[in-house]
Amino acid sequence: MARLLVATVPLTGHVQPMTVLVRALVERGHEIHWYTGAKFAPAVRATGAAFVPVQHARDWDDADVDAAFPALRDKRGLSRVKTQLRELFIGPAADQLRDLEAITSRQSVDAILADSAHLGAALLSETRGLPWIGLGISALMAPSLDTAPFGSAYPPLPGAAGERRNRIMNHVVFRVMFSGVNRAWRRARTAAGLPAGDGTYFDVMSPDLFLQPTVASFEYPRRDLPPQVRFIGPLVPRAPAAALPDWWADVVAARESGVPIVLVTQGTLATDPRELIAPAIAGLAGEPVLVVVTGRHEGDLPANVRVAAFVPYDLLLPHVSVMVTNGGYGGVQMALRHGVPLVAAGGSEEKPEIAARIAWSGVGLDLKTGTPSPAQVAAAVRRVLAEPGFRERAGVIASEMSACDARTRGVEEIERLLRSRA
């Protein structure tokens, strides 16, 4: 059996899918040492892995990212995205590498498995020559002649016109608009004793194996898809033990009586309820639906709204008719796994890209804003409920996902790589 070093950025959306894969690896008899933030130590140990704390790199709590990284305050749009890339991912890379090199000096490891944003793992793979397995935690970022640049949220455009658009946009976005981000990444490489190179931040991907936790039909097709990419299906973490809310009987009653249930959520990042939860509650207050909100909300509630900080999705989603989301990747995958169509309002991080894929794949609507009006949310929910094509398309993807055992596929791909490197 192999000894694997796992590394994740201390973000809930990066850690949760990894727990599924690590648990499966442990069950197969592999020895796992997992390097991540202290907040996630209980989740790491629950998988059977050994928790390895951060030493030199900065540890932080994703419950309030702006508090952890003051440079993000008052940043919006493109400026915020650039700052996030520099502060959350590139800035810590050198210290992450220092920690990872110390770990591998104490004990030998056969490979490193890391979420796709953990740049310290990318540097370690080069400095130590370790096999590197990447795990996608969002929509596929790989540049392609068949896609507009990641972050533009433009859907594919077929034919020669699309190729021309993509070639121009890829240069302008990756080489010009994000030139400062690229310089920061090259400085990080130089600090690690590696050639600066002429690549961009967006080119960073394991050359050995990259696991994408969705099905291919939810991702834009690419004729130049890197050969190491494997679509394994969604990695759905175990729901933590939690009591159902005292209003759960209302959910059951609504389902039995045919009243549509609308789930509204902002996930684990970008959780300001004024952006989506509040307008969704206001817009749906007069609609003949039961609205279930997971997250924060202050103030009085309309009669058709129920709120809880957390409800187990594996119990809730089978009852849901539409999910209104700001586009968190994990939540979207869980909804699609249950055949639930979506209304997406993604305006920060990479969420516009996920929202664009929701519209492109036909499983829902993209409101193309992170701060929709109540009327926009209500109109979108009405349309998704009225037009069966959205649920039918979501059902097709759900069927594809049900045919995927992501745990098994992921482990098999990792073991195949390890055997080839033995």
CATH topology assigned to domain 248-402: Rossmann fold (3.40.50)
Per-residue pLDDT of 365-375, as tens digits, reads 999 999 999 99
* d(C-alpha 399, C-alpha 337), whole Å: 8
Q: Which one is the CATH code of 3-236+405-421: 3.50.50.60, 3.40.718.10, 3.40.50.2000, 1.10.3720.10?
A: 3.40.50.2000
What is the reported pLDDT for 78? 83
Per-residue pLDDT of 168-223, as tens digits, reads 999 999 999 999 999 999 999 999 999 999 889 999 999 999 999 999 999 999 99
Per the CB < 8 A criterion, the answer to whether 413 and 25 are in contact is no
In this chain, the answer to whether the domains covering 3-236+405-421 and 248-402 adopt an identical fold is: yes
Ordered by start, the domain boundaries in the chain are 3-236+405-421, 248-402
What is the reported pLDDT for 270? 64
Per the CB < 8 A criterion, the answer to whether 261 and 290 are in contact is yes
What is the reported pLDDT for 350? 85
What is the reported pLDDT for 309? 87
- Residues of the chain short of pLDDT 50, as ranges, are none
Chain Cα centroid distance, residue 400: 19
* d(C-alpha 18, C-alpha 4), whole Å: 13
* d(C-alpha 384, C-alpha 390), whole Å: 6
